[in-house]
Structure 1
Amino acid sequence: MRNYTVSAWSPRMRGWSQRADLLYTATSPDAIRVRDSKTKTDVLTFTPDAWTSFVGLVTSGDVDFDAIAS
């Protein structure tokens, strides 16, 4: 497994619902890793197929993030 240094993380999104959090990603051929700008240790890891499905679900508008956050 690749060791992801700080320089490997790239900013990707701003403004999830009413929040102004910045997400960072680190990618490799076998994984996409995502973390919040405020958290350097908690990381979500997706396979490329799972990432594609996740992004499709989020962009479809079928997820109520306000309900999840409460």
Structure 2
Amino acid sequence: MGNRLFQEARDFVEHAEELFLTGGSTDEKESALQVAKNALSSAYANSTFAEQEQLREFQKVLDRLQ
């Protein structure tokens, strides 16, 4: 099935990125960023090395959005 926390983190990062690209409200963007950051943090400790590498890339996406 895969790592559920990793999958959720990926989905939340994609959602945040989509909000920034499509012009969501400031509150929506800030909320989506916070949720994505929390999801990344939760997923990191329970991930394989390869997943951790991808999570670092997801973090870079969030960093660019801020």
**Structure showing the higher helix proportion among its residues:** 2
**Structure showing the higher strand proportion among its residues:** 1
Same fold per superposition (TM over 0.5)? no
TM-score by length of 2: 0.29
Q: Which has the higher contact order (CA 8 A, sep 6+)?
A: 2
